[in-house]
Amino acid sequence: MLKYLTQAPRYLFFTGKGGVGKTSHACSSALALAESGKKVLIVSTDPASNIGQVFDTEMGDLITPIHYVENLYGMEIDPQIAARHYRERIVQPIRGKLPASIVKSIEEQLSGACTTEVAAFDEFTRLLTDESLQKDFDHIIFDTAPTGHTIRLLQLPGAWNEFLEYGKGDTSCLGPLAGLEKQRVKYANAISVLSDETKTRLVLVARAQSATIKEAEKTHLELAELGLTDQYLVLNGLYPESGSGNDPLALAIIDREQKVVKQLPGLLAKLPIDQVPLLSSNVLGLESLRTLTSGTQPTQTISRSFAIDADKYNSLSSLIDQLSTQDHGLVMLMGKGGVGKTTMAAAIASKLFDKGFDVHLTTSDPAAHLQYTLNSDETKFSVSKIDPVSETKRYRETILKEKGASLDEDGRKLLEEDLRSPCTEEIAVFQTFSEIIKQADKKFVIMDTAPTGHTLLLLDATGAYHKEMTRQKKAVETPLLKLQNQALTKIIITTLAEPTPVQEAKDLQQDLQRANIEPWAWIINNSLVQNGIKAELLQERAASQQPLIDKVINEYTSRVAVVAMQKSEPVGEKALKQLASS
């Protein structure tokens, strides 16, 4: 039994950078507690949730019994669906009582990203404060979203309560707040539950990789400040030393991971820690979930003859060669958090710069590690980050200067209070995004975008901007039009050769296509389908990866680059250039 399940409180939250195994551990914990006789509900508030896939049970926003497991129930809260229900609760009472034009205007106010966040949090809070659920279930487990999203989600109670204390503003949040005022007591109760260590435990999930450890440390500090002090750390997917088989790649992975484990930051090292070995197959189904919770590696041998053929796949270098047939453009890397978008973006930017092109590399990921990946403060090409905190501050100052100058004291206070809304951050970030992509007409702009859920919200807000600009300035090429322009914009979906990341990448591609945005290529990163692999564990993982890679090529896209897992982390310009040349 893992340490974080010892005397588990009623509420368990799993958080960490995307792709580290939060869903797997949340699901395995739910199964272990249910099989110990406890009645358990597992909930996802992640836009990219896949707990239904893990348990092979179709589920949605209603509590659903899990197949074949007594006492275990699940639900997935889709923020977009929650927003639609939330919007309807507010609008339905006024339909037929107010003119249709006014109702339509109110619906428009409630159609933005702000409403989506408020609605999702409304559902999240309901589960924490519902007395009937507390009577029905011994444990409620939350498979939360990737780190940046989780932090913002958990910051919302304090932010909204603070905003409501000051009163409503008059523009950006008037619509969503119509449904918030009556929820004040419920939000206060949610904050109380989150900060009560007898009721709530936070499990930080990380891989033994520098970037995810840095993110775990940041999350530990920020959530501790919110009052979540009962924290545990899981180092997930550690390569077992007994399984190296003297394979150079396996030995390099073991060495790299053990160095990270031994050099854990002091604050993390003081937490109770579970080290969980890498499994030979992906965590799907009850048996693999039980293995994960036990913390042991099952004895397995390769069950079939497997011939690795890595030469049949295109390289990252060939993809960059195709990009360089033009001298400018917008290159956006999209995909689930933790699949390597930051590294791929930096490698592409480095190689294009080496080819003599003018390059601007930027990130809009709240959990970005771009500067760490480049490992240099003096990069020769332009590097920038759309930082939500600094952009929000700049936006507030600009609005106060422009709109506040002509207001009296009461009017200025009203404007300041409106700008306290969390929605202001969304507006500020997307305004900056729109400015940066304008540069793509003259140079290469390489964007390391946020994890999948963030990316969809990003495109949604850009689409809203597109509609507004179309109304106001008919001749302007809006950000959405630039994204739809395949001659200018190259969308590269980045994923891993694992079932869940591939499924999520496929879903993202379909979402983009519905917005008339056609992905240009896919990158499959950290592939173990490499020539010369000796270790049986690596061979077993490679055997499960190759059919997935072939499926992507045959069914999802005609342009794919397969990037092999490296013996050392590709940090620094030299390593990035080598990666881009492979």
Of 232-236, 295-299, 332-336, 395-399, which has the strongest mean pLDDT?
232-236
User: Would residue 399 count as lying in a domain?
Assistant: no
**Residue 239 falls within a domain, yes or no?**
yes
pLDDT for residue 204 is more than 90: yes
Q: Kindly state whether residues 273 and 342 are assigned to the same domain.
A: no
The tokens for 534 are 């000796």
302 part of a folded domain = no
116 among known catalytic residues: no
Tell whether 268 is covered by a domain. yes
For the chain, what is the domain count?
Answer: 2
- Nearest-angstrom CA–CA distance, 406 and 420: 20
Same domain for 35 and 175? yes
In this prediction, residue 35 carries a pLDDT of 96
Catalytic residue (one of 22, 341, 443, 506): 22
CATH number at residue 448: 3.40.50.300
Q: Quick check: 345 and 563 in contact, CB under 8 A?
A: no
- 21 a catalytic residue: yes
Assess whether 239 and 324 both reside in one domain. no
Interacting residues of 280 by C-beta distance below 8 A, sequence separation 6+: 297, 298, 300, 537, 540, 541
Q: Are residues 118 and 177 in the same domain?
A: yes
How far apart are the C-alpha atoms of 555 and 575, rounded to whole Å?
A: 32
On whether both 210 and 346 belong to a single domain, the answer is no
Domain boundary, last residue among 256, 291, 326: 291
Residue from 15, 16, 17, 21 carrying the catalytic annotation = 21
The active-site residue, picked from 16, 18, 19, 74, is 19
What distance in Å separates the CA atoms of residue 398 and residue 31, rounded to the nearest whole number? 51
Q: Once rounded to an integer, what is the mean pLDDT over residues 531-547?
A: 87
Q: Which residue in 15, 18, 24, 482 is the catalytic one? A: 24
Report the distance separating Cα 310 and Cα 563, nearest Å: 10
Instruction: Looking at the structure, tell me whether residues 48 and 170 fall in a common domain.
Output: yes
68 & 213 share domain:
yes
421 has a pLDDT exceeding 90: no
> Is 467 designated active site?
no
Least confident range of 63-67, 237-241, 352-356, 460-464: 460-464
Residue 161 reports pLDDT greater than 70: no
Query: Of 263, 291, 319, which residue is a domain's last?
Result: 291
DSSP 263: T
23 catalytic? Reply is yes
Q: Which of 212, 421, 452, 500 is labelled catalytic?
A: 500
Cα separation, 414 vs 509, whole angstroms: 42
Sort strands 64-65 and 72-76 into parallel, antiparallel or unpaired.
antiparallel
Mean pLDDT throughout 351-377?
79
The rounded distance, in Å, linking the Cα atoms of 557 and 119 is 35
Residue 296 located in a structural domain: no
- Domain co-membership, 461 together with 533: yes
Residues 574 and 467 in one domain: yes
Catalytic-residue membership of 19: yes
Q: Is residue 298 part of a domain?
A: no
Length of the chain: 582
Of 262, 291, 320, which marks where a domain is finished?
291
**Are 182 and 326 within one domain?**
no
Tell me, yes or no, whether 415 lies in a domain: no
8 A C-beta contact, residue 333 and residue 455: no
Q: Are residues 238 and 357 in the same domain?
A: no
The residue among 374, 274, 331 whose CA lies nearest residue 519 is: 331
The two three-digit tokens of residue 498, written as one number: 């694992």
189 CB neighbour count, 10 Å cutoff? 14
- Whether 394 is covered by a domain: the verdict is no
Q: Report pLDDT for 174.
A: 43
Q: What residue numbers bound the domain in which 371 lies?
A: 310-389+423-581
Q: Is pLDDT above 90 for 140? A: yes
491 with 557, same domain? yes
Catalytic residue from among 45, 46, 64, 432 = 46
E strands along 369-466, which residues?
Answer: 382-385, 444-448
- Pair of tokens at residue 350: 């480095």
User: Would you place residue 374 in the very low, low, confident or very high pLDDT band (cuts 50, 70, 90)?
Assistant: confident
**24 annotated active-site:** yes
Of 23, 147, 288, 478, which is the active-site residue?
23
